[in-house]
Amino acid sequence: MARPSPARESTASASTGWRIAQVAIVLSLVGLFAWLASNTAQNLHSRGIMVGFDFLWRGARFPIAESLLPYDPTDSFGWAFVVGLGNTLYITLLVIVLSTALGVVVGVARRSSHPFASGLSAVFVDTCRNMPIVVQLLFWYAVVAFGLPDTDHASHPLPGVWFTDRGLYFPRLHLDGPLLPGVFVLVVGLGWAWTVRRRDQRRRTETGRSPHAGRKIVAGTLVAAVLVAATTGLRPSLEYATLGRFNYMGGVTLTPEFVAILVGLTVYSTAFAAEIIRGGLDAVPRGQWEAARAIGLSEHQTLRLIVLPQAMRLIIPPMTSQYINIMKNSTLALVVGYPELNFITATTINQTGQALEGVGILMAIFLAISLGASWLMNLYNQKLGLVTR
């Protein structure tokens, strides 16, 4: 008995039973959503809950412990959201930079033949990856907020630096006087150094010699800029933190909350970054190392010029999702009291009762960022002709 080819059947016309099943699934999902939506509408109505985004313009009145953007309780709820997003992005970017740098160190150390380096980094990676990030954050918070001495017995490792259970205090640099002349010298000098460097690079590809004129110009510029600034009357001064009645005041303060989220998230993310980088390096065939050595490149040069560029193609896609994970994990700042977007949304919902709106904004922001990032990643992959798995 002749049968139609199965492949054709599956692409063109599916059997009616299958079709009905699919329609049924879709319909029941739509029904479910409609049911949930009607429940919500009903509940909102019967409980007299106000809906709308008017509250965004009302005064927030609640305090935010610390923020990158200026904030005062007289600002609006809308601005509080922006401030929260600012903190989220701030901590995310800091951790991305730090964990990538440290991840390279740990990842390379793990592959090194030095027994101490590889052993330590293996222990580090396994420990950090197998404990929940929340536990680690609370641990670091306990170390800073309950482990350091109190204000009256501050630890004083360097002049102008105090470590207490209320935070880490550093001097703040103030510049008084005209800033422009020094900056002008700096910009001109660096611009010149950049053009010289471009020229030298071109010359190196042609002649093989590598002059280092650019570096000398940079050094000269720095000296010149400082001299010019000093002669035109720019006076730097350090503002030290001073002990007030309750706390050290002034200077730069890193609160225990900030330190805990920064250290905790960086340590955790470093372990993951290190594994990704190690995976990328491992995937570069051994022959590449050997060939590079054969043409006379040093180990450092091999890593920088031969292996890393190849490993990058394998490292970048998982690193992107790792970066999105960092942003998602930054919401855990809640447990150590650092006010990021999720925390501030929770507070807003509490103060206003506008749960639907708050949750909607929160979801929209996080989805916009993470879906946007993966969309960019897809573009990048298409450009490189890579396939993400």
Partner 1 sequence: MMPVEAFLRQDAEAVRPAPALVKRGWRKLLFGDVASSLLTVLISLCALWAVPRVLDWAVFDAVWRGNGQACFDAGACWAFLGAKWPLILFGIYPPDQQWRPIVVVLAFLAITLWSLPERNWTRATATGWLVVIVSSLLLMGGDTLGLQPVPTGDWGGLPITILLTVLSLTIGFPFGILLALGRRSEDRMMRWLSVGFIEIVRGLPLLTMLFIAAILLPLMLPDGVTFDNLSRALVALTFYSAAYLAEVIRGGLQSLPKGQEEAARALGLGRLATLRFIILPQAIHAVIPPLTNTVVVVVKNTSLVLVVGLFDLLSAGRSALTDPDWPSPYIETYILVGFVYFVICFGISRYSLWLEHKLSAGVQR
Partner 2 sequence: MSRRTRKLLIGAFLALAAPLAGCGGSETTGGAQGEASDGKTLAAIKARGYIRCGASQGTVGFGAPDDKGYWRGLDVETCRAIAAAVFGDKNKARFIPLTGQQRLTALQTGEIDVLPRTTTWTLLRDANGVNFTYPNFYDYTGFMLRKDKGVRRVQDMTGASVCIQTGSMPEVTFADVSRKYDLKLRPVVFDSVPATRQAFFGGRCDALITDASALASIRATQAQNPEDYVIIPANDEVTALAPSVRHGDDQWFDIVKFAFHAMLMAEQLGINQANVDEMRQSRDPIVQRFLGVEPGNGKALGLSEDFAYNIVKQLGNYGEMYDRNVGKDSPLKIERGMNRLQRDGGLMVPIGFY
Q: Where does this chain bind partner 2 (CB under 8 A)?
A: 41, 43-54, 56, 61-65, 69-70, 73-76, 78-79, 81-82, 85, 145-146, 150, 165-166, 244-247, 249, 255-257, 334-335, 337, 339, 343, 346-347, 349-353, 355-357, 360-361, 363-365, 367-368
Burial of 106 per CB tally in 10 Å (0-12, 13-18, 19+): buried
Q: Would you say 310 or 331 has its CB closer to partner 1?
A: 331
Residue 186, binding choice from partner 2, partner 1, none, Cβ under 5 to 8 Å by partner class: none
Instruction: Establish if 155 lies at the interface with partner 1 (CB under 8 A).
Output: no
x-marked contacts with partner 1 along 186-225 as a string, rule CB under 8 A:
----------------------------------------
Q: Which of 24, 51, 65, 142 binds partner 1 (CB under 8 A)?
A: 142
The DSSP string of 166-213 is TEEEE-EEEEES--HHHHHHHHHHHHHHHHHHHHHHHHHHHH-----H
Instruction: Establish if 102 lies at the interface with partner 1 (CB under 8 A).
Output: no
Q: Would you say 25 or 175 has its CB closer to partner 1?
A: 25
Q: How far is the CB of 319 from partner 1 (least distance, A)?
A: 16
At residue 132, φ and ψ (nearest 5 deg) are -60, 145
Q: Find, among 338, 164, 345, 161, the residue nearest to 264 by Cα.
A: 338
Residue 10, binding choice from partner 1, partner 2, none, Cβ under 5 to 8 Å by partner class: partner 1
Q: Would you say 81 or 272 has its CB closer to partner 2?
A: 81
Question: Residues with Cβ < 8 Å from 210, sequence gap 6 or more?
Answer: 200, 204
Angle at 320 between CA 317 and CA 323, to 5 degrees: 155
Compute how many residues bind partner 1; rule: CB under 8 A.
Answer: 65
Instruction: Establish if 331 lies at the interface with partner 1 (CB under 8 A).
Output: yes
Residue 319, binding choice from partner 1, partner 2, none, Cβ under 5 to 8 Å by partner class: none
50 C-beta neighbours (distance < 10 Å), count: 11
Separation between Cα atoms, residue 342 and residue 377, nearest integer Å? 25
157 close to 241: Cβ distance less than 8 angstroms: no
Separation between Cα atoms, residue 318 and residue 374, nearest integer Å? 11
Token readout for 16 is 């009616």
Q: Would you say 350 or 378 has its CB closer to partner 2?
A: 350
Angle at 375 between CA 370 and CA 379, to 5 degrees: 145
Instruction: Establish if 389 lies at the interface with partner 1 (CB under 8 A).
Output: yes
Alpha carbon separation from 320 to 43, 105, 315 (Å, rounded): 41, 19, 9
Helix 308-329 and helix 355-384: axis angle, to 10°? Answer: 180
Instruction: Establish if 297 lies at the interface with partner 1 (CB under 8 A).
Output: no
**Helix ranges restricted to H, 284-354:** 286-294, 299-301, 308-329, 341-352
Q: Would you say 190 or 373 has its CB closer to partner 1?
A: 373
x-marked contacts with partner 1 along 366-385 as a string, rule CB under 8 A:
xx--xx--x-----------
Q: Would you say 76 or 374 has its CB closer to partner 1?
A: 374
Instruction: Establish if 130 lies at the interface with partner 1 (CB under 8 A).
Output: yes
> Is residue 229 within a helix (H) or strand (E), and if so which, with residue range?
helix 213-231
Instruction: Establish if 105 lies at the interface with partner 1 (CB under 8 A).
Output: no
Separation between Cα atoms, residue 230 and residue 162, nearest integer Å? 29
Q: Which of 24, 50, 135, 179 binds partner 1 (CB under 8 A)?
A: 135
Task: Give the binding site for partner 1 (CB under 8 A).
Answer: 3, 6-7, 9-11, 14-15, 18, 22, 25-26, 29, 36-37, 39-40, 42-44, 46, 113-117, 120, 126-127, 129-136, 138-139, 142-143, 146-147, 324, 327-329, 331-332, 334-335, 342, 346, 349, 355-356, 359, 362-363, 366-367, 370-371, 374, 389
